[in-house]
Structure 1
Amino acid sequence: MSTSSNLQYDEIPKKYIDPSTPKDKSEGSRVNGKDWKIKKDAFRVKTLGVSKPKSKNSYKEREQKKLQEQQYKARLKELKEEKESMKKAKIDELKRRREIKAEKERYEKMAAKMHAKKVERMKKREKRNKMLKER
């Protein structure tokens, strides 16, 4: 009810409030056949007096606000990148330490294996020598 929205109840025409009031002859019957329904006008925001707020601040103020927003975003991005790089550095350090540890363990296993092989060879040699001596 755009035309009657800003009026007092007494001032609103009866055709908008009371469905039993007679229709204007120029209106004719409704297309959908529901003549007992209350008449409503199209909802138009402009007639309600609602409009976009006019910018009260000047161009300089808007530019300054935009500049502040850009600085804020840049700082935020910088902080995020710094945090990400710290996280990456931490992960890289952890990987490096794990690699060093794995390499150390591998060398220890190799050394133990080599030692065991050497001991095994010596045992075989000793057995052979013993068998030769017993003949």
Structure 2
Amino acid sequence: MSATTGDSVPAAAPAEAAAMPQGMRKNGKQWLPPKKAFRPTAGLTSYEQRNKTRVAQTAMKAKEKEMKEEKETERKRRVQAIKEKQAAKAEKERYELLAAKMHKKRLDRLKRKEKRNKMINS
């Protein structure tokens, strides 16, 4: 019978000790939680653990870099498409202005001549 009471007493004792106040704090801030002892080596990790985190970090950075490069190439592709579309539109407007002034057959000759010059110059 004493063994059963002995088992129940230690289980209740730590709960009571945690609930009991430790006394008045020296700085007067009783609402703050009690501080623990300073342990400078408590946060240190093993070499294997540091190495694992380092490898994970490098893998994450590589993935981020790859994603950024993909995003940048997509942006450049869109910008290039817009520029090409604007250039084609400007060329079309220029030919329309020329067509308003010139005869159609002469305009066709000029277009062919310009294309030959572009091929030679490029």
Q: Distance in 2 between matches of 1:101 and 1:54?
A: 65
1:114 Cα deviation after fit: 2.1
Q: What is the match of residue 87 of structure 1?
A: 75
TM-score (norm 1): 0.47
Q: TM-score, normalised by structure 2?
A: 0.52
Deviation, structure 1 residue 111: 1.6
Q: Which amino acid aligns with 1:54?
A: G
Q: Return the offset for 1:50.
A: 3.3
State the 1:8 CA deviation. 2.5
| Percent of aligned pairs sharing the same letter | 37
Unaligned runs of 5+ in 1: 1-6, 18-37, 39-46, 116-135
Partner of 1:105: 93
Distance 2:57 2:46 in 1: 17
Q: Residues of 1 paired with 2:39 and 2:83: CA distance? A: 60
Q: Which residue of 2 aligns with 1:9?
A: 23
Give the match's secondary structure for 1:91: helix
Distance 2:55 2:62 in 1: 10
RCO higher in 1 or 2 (8 Å CA, sep ≥ 6)?
1
Displacement after TM superposition at 1:51 (Å): 3.8
What secondary structure sits across from 2:102 in the alignment?
helix
Q: Which has the higher helix share?
A: 2
Q: CA RMSD in A?
A: 2.7
> Using the alignment, how far apart are the partners of 1:85 and 1:77 within structure 2?
12
**Length, aligned pairs only:** 76
Unaligned runs of 5+ in 2: 1-20, 29-34, 104-122
Task: Give the structure 2 partner of residue 49 of structure 1.
Answer: 37
